């Protein structure tokens, strides 16, 4: 069965073509305005969903077989676009047996409260991270400070590369990125392939010294090092535009 990410993508494409605007009550309502725009596209496509609550993951849960979910990220443009903060869960293409897709919507950094979509990308979560089985949990302890009763919360924040940081050729268009070999309708044309290889070493923990403010990473050899994950980028036939390829500049790996 083809993914409903395809139906959502085509619904977004149609909405942009007819000028469906993002609307917000104020400048403070950036993320939820984009989320509501995507929610309307799910409804346009007739995709049944459950909208998750604040800080729940993913934003929209879709039942059926296979079960899927959509996580929405709004990016003001010009502005930060190469990465984003994730504090509810580490990104991945699978969450509790559900295939997760990310919907990145870029919009103009404007004072107006009604504005058009600049461009968007819907991608399989594995493009961001192929890890399986990681369970996100926040922990705390209460023995800090002179009286020993101050709590420190280890609340993890993941800074994740967006498709705009991973690939080139995405500006000004709507793009769907799926694992290579996934079934797609004839109305979509392939406009590039992206292959990402797993790293030789991966972090499995870290320590933080409160007296020196020094963080140390604990890493180990990656048992699946070198495994390649290939994805195909698509656009509607007749609107292929610029081809998509991996970005020429890759971030430098840093070890503390």
pLDDT at 255 over 60: no
Structural domain contains residue 12:
yes
Structural domain contains residue 180:
yes
Structural domain contains residue 174:
yes
Q: Which domain holds residue 82?
A: 4-132+159-195+229-246
**Residue 233 or 54, more confident:** 233
Mean pLDDT of the chain: 92
pLDDT at 251 over 70: no
Structural domain contains residue 217:
no
Cα–Cα distance, 236 to 239 (Å, whole number): 5
Structural domain contains residue 51:
yes
**Residue 30 or 246, more confident:** 246
Find the range with the poorest average confidence among 19-23, 51-55, 103-107, 197-201.
Answer: 51-55
Phi, psi for residue 235 in degrees, rounded to 5: -140, 160
The tens digit of pLDDT for each residue in 185-222 reads 999 999 999 999 999 999 999 999 999 999 999 999 99
- Please state the rounded mean pLDDT for residues 80-106: 92
Question: What is the percent of the chain where pLDDT is above 90?
Answer: 77
**Residue 249 or 164, more confident:** 164
- Banded pLDDT at 134 (limits 50, 70, 90): confident
Structurally, the chain folds into a number of domains equal to 1
- Please state the rounded mean pLDDT for residues 218-233: 97
- Banded pLDDT at 30 (limits 50, 70, 90): low
Structural domain contains residue 59:
yes
- Please state the rounded mean pLDDT for residues 38-63: 90
Structural domain contains residue 213:
no
Q: Output the pLDDT for position 1.
A: 67
Which pTM was predicted? 0.92
pLDDT at 8 over 90: yes
pLDDT at 252 over 80: no
Structural domain contains residue 34:
yes
The tens digit of pLDDT for each residue in 154-176 reads 988 999 999 999 999 999 999 99
Q: Which of 35, 36, 44 is nearest to 12 (CA)?
A: 44
pLDDT at 29 over 70: no
């Amino acid at each position: 069965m083809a993914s409903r990410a395809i139906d959502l993508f085509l619904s977004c494409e149609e909405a942009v073509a007819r000028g469906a605007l993002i609307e917000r009550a104020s400048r403070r309502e950036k993320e939820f305005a984009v989320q509501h725009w995507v929610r309307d596209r799910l409804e346009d496509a007739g995709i049944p969903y459950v909208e998750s609550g604040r800080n729940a993951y993913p934003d929209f849960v879709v039942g059926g077989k296979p079960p899927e979910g959509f996580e929405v990220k709004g990016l003001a443009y010009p502005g930060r676009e190469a990465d984003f903060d994730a504090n509810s869960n580490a990104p991945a293409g699978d969450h509790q047996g559900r295939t997760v897709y990310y919907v990145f919507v870029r919009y103009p950094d404007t004072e107006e409260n009604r504005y058009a979509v600049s461009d968007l990308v819907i991608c399989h979560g594995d493009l961001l991270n192929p890890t399986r089985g990681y369970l996100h949990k926040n922990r705390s302890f209460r023995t800090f400070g002179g009286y020993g009763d101050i709590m420190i919360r280890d609340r993890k924040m993941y800074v994740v590369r967006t498709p705009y940081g991973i690939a080139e050729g995405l500006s000004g268009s709507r793009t769907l990125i799926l694992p290579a070999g996934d079934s797609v309708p004839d109305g979509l044309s392939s406009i590039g392939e992206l292959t990402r290889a797993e790293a030789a070493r991966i972090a499995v923990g870290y320590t933080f010294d409160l007296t020196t403010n020094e963080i140390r990473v604990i890493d180990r050899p990656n048992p699946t090092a070198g495994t390649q994950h290939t994805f195909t980028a698509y656009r509607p036939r007749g609107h292929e535009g610029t081809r998509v390829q991996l970005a020429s500049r890759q971030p430098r790996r840093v070890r503390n």
